[in-house]
Amino acid sequence: MASLVVVGLQWGDEGKGKVVDILAGFADLVVRFQGGANAGHTLKVEGEEVVTHLVPSGVLHPGKRCAIGPAVVLDPEQLLLEVDVLQAKGRLSEPDSLMVSNRAHVVMPYHKQLDGAREQASGSAKIGTTLRGIGPCLEDKMSRSGIRVCDLMDSDLLTERVTSRLAEVNALLAHYGSDAVKADELLHLLRAQADRLRPFIGDVGELVRTELSRGRPVLFEGAQGVMLDVDHGTYPFVTSSNTVAGAVCAGLGLAPGRLSSVMGVAKAYSTRVGEGPFPTEMGDERGIRLQKAGGEVGATTGRPRRCGWLDLAALRYAVSVGGCTSLCLTKLDVLSGLGPLKVAVAYELDGERIESMPADAMLYRRIKPVYEELEGWDETLGEVRELSDLPAPVRRYLDFVSNFVNVPVAMVSVGPSRSETIMVQNPFRNR
Ligand code: GDP
Ligand code: IMO
Ligand code: MG
């Protein structure tokens, strides 16, 4: 049995999509297990660029199956948009190449409307969400008023559930001064989407359990990153799901022992989109240089990403929460020519050194990172394919990170394309 979970270790956008695209080559099935269309993954393969939000990043491998699990919140409009784009490119042509869980909760237009209305009403206290309706949809799931993919398939039940839900939703929208939703218009839209979704729908938990029992390698694709986890991240400036590897088990209905390895993906520096604590954020012109060099613009919202030094204190925490058996460091090429490189190894709170992550987001205003400085490099790295061919300061940077978090580096990414990768060891076999 081989299963590998890939999770982001920072604030998202670590390059998980690229990593999953490569690792999909070793798997039979690639499964998204949490989050929703708040995710944005850019894949570059043989000159072609594809951006996915819901479709798993294994989609560019012909003959591999992809699945969207029960704990993913599914926006039918976004999924169908991606399916159209991929099919126009000659992808997803096999009927069973994508399965969508019948248990997944549906992101309704009113979830997106509420997300936007709340953010606007919050003013300077806003979270800076992706406005994809993630929070409101997951609230409905937890309060047991959500509408699931299986409900879309039963027209009478759908009418009943939507009509009853809209009573409260429209009162909430009115509270924010937002337009009421008309039941007949929404139902018309949902029925049309349901017809198109029907061929993709199935029991994804069952599919995964069966594949694992048959000894087939399964790859689980995480979205966001550990620091955005609703329980373990910088609450309330987080997303509304668990982003840690453990979420695979609850999300898909798998016993914990069925996961053999976890790869954590981290950028060689840090970025964050949206509001919230970011201890190593660069306030200077180097941050802007990094943003330009790394193309740090959100794939989902087009917002510039905030940039900062690598935060090893946060990374060590994320590794321990995520239980990583291997590490992939991405975007090392972006650091070329930046001069000496700072890495945060701890924080100072009111003059005292702390090694753990504060629970209270407000405390982050008072903490200062404790930095060590490592030698930088000027060489371009995009052509390097072997660890031993990397310039010595790059290898020392990698070793420093790996030793600090006590996890071996299994992959290094030196450019956005599939080929710009150094494979150190197969992370499927790394326990
Ligand atoms: P994800 O959300 O974790 O999948 O990451 P995104 O796709 O949102 O953001 C990562 C961005 O960096 C994308 O534009 C990738 O094409 C790009 N990228 C990934 N790895 C590398 C790398 O090693 N070097 C460079 N320069 N770009 C990379
Ligand atoms: P990928 O998978 C980066 C951030 C938002 C916001 C917070 C809450 O591409 O790494 P939400 O819409 O989830 O309610 O927003 O979480 N966020 C991400 N940041 N990458 C992502 O996904 C993100 N998904 C959500 O910017 O700060
Ligand atoms: Mg992203």
DSSP letters of 366-394?
TEEEEEEEE----S--TT--SGGGS-HHH
Active-site entry in 41, 53, 61, 232: 41
Helix (H, G, I), strand (E, B) or coil at 421: strand
Element (H, E) at 207: helix 204-213
Residues 420 and 316 in one domain: yes
Mean pLDDT of the chain: 95
Same domain assignment for residues 189 and 226: no
**Domain span holding position 356:** 265-429
Instruction: Tell me which ligand sits closest to the C-alpha of residue 239.
Output: 2
Q: What is the mean pLDDT of residues 340-364?
A: 93
| For range 224-238, the mean pLDDT | 97
CB-ligand 1 contact for 53 (6 Å cutoff): no
pLDDT for position 283:
83
Q: How far is CA 71 from the centre of its chain?
A: 14
CA distance 37 to 27: 23
pLDDT in tens, 121-137: 999 999 999 999 999 99
Please name which ligand lies nearest the alpha carbon of 57.
1
Q: Are residues 317 and 179 in the same domain?
A: no
Q: Is the CB of 297 under 6 A from ligand 1?
A: no
The CB of 116 under 6 Å from ligand 2? The reply is no
**Shortest CA distance to 73 belongs to which of 94, 46, 101, 96?**
101
Reported in sequence order, the residue ranges of 135-213 that DSSP labels E, i.e. its strands, are 201-202
Atom of ligand 1 nearest to the CA of 421: 23
From 42, 115, 224, 237, mutation site for ligand 2 pocket: most ligand atoms within 8 A of C-beta: 224
Residues 192 and 125 in one domain: yes
Atom number of ligand 2 nearest to Cα 8: 10
Residue that is last in its domain, among 230, 258, 286: 258
Residue 121 sits in the same domain as residue 143: yes
The residue behind tokens 């941050």 is 287
Q: Whose CA is nearest to atom 11 of ligand 1?
A: 15
Per-residue pLDDT averaged across 237-248, rounded? 97
Domains in the chain: how many in total?
Answer: 3
**Active-site residue, 41 included:** yes
Alpha-carbon dihedral sign for residues 87, 50, 222, 407 = positive
The verdict on whether 184 is a catalytic residue reads no
CB 248 within 8 A of CB 254: yes
Looking up residue 83, the CATH number of its domain turns out to be 3.40.440.10
C-alpha span between 381 and 87 (Å, rounded) = 34
Eight-state DSSP code of residue 371: E
Distance CA 431, CA 4 (A): 10
Least confident of 92-101, 106-115, 343-352: 92-101
CB atoms within 10 A of CB 389: 12
State the DSSP string of 246-279. THHHHHHT--GGG--EEEEEEESSEEE-SSS--T
Residue 431 reports pLDDT greater than 50 = no
| Whether pLDDT at 312 is above 60 | yes
| pLDDT computed for residue 71 by the predictor | 98
Which DSSP category does 44 fall into?
E
Does residue 168 sit in the same domain as residue 123? yes
Distance 301 CA to ligand 2 centre (A): 10
210 and 93 share one domain: yes
Question: Among candidates 340, 395, 337, 361, which has minimal Cα distance to 272?
Answer: 361
Q: Taking a C-beta distance cutoff of 8 angstroms, is the pair 233, 215 a contact?
A: no
pLDDT of 298 > 90? The answer is no
- CATH number, residue 133: 1.10.300.10
| Shared domain check, 324 and 223 | no
In the structure, what pLDDT confidence band is assigned to residue 140 with cuts at 50, 70 and 90?
Answer: very high
Looking at the structure, do residues 39 and 128 belong to the same domain, yes or no? no
Please say if the pLDDT value at position 41 is more than 60: yes
Given 149, 181, 197, the domain boundary residue is: 197
If asked whether residues 113 and 193 sit together in one domain, one would say yes
Which of 178, 197, 216 finishes a domain?
Answer: 197
141 with 252, same domain?
no
- Which ligand number lies closest to the CA of residue 335? 1
> What's at 201, amino acid-wise?
I
CB of 18 closer than 6 A to ligand 2? no
Which atom number of ligand 1 is nearest to the Cα of residue 57?
Answer: 4
Q: Residue 289 sits in a domain of what CATH number?
A: 3.90.170.10
Q: What angle do CA 323, 51, 37 make, to 5 degrees?
A: 65
Let me know whether 191 and 292 are in one domain.
no
Model confidence at 430, pLDDT cuts 50, 70, 90, reads low
pLDDT of residue 46: 86
296: amino acid identity, one letter:
E
* Residue 13 Cα: closest atom of ligand 2: 10
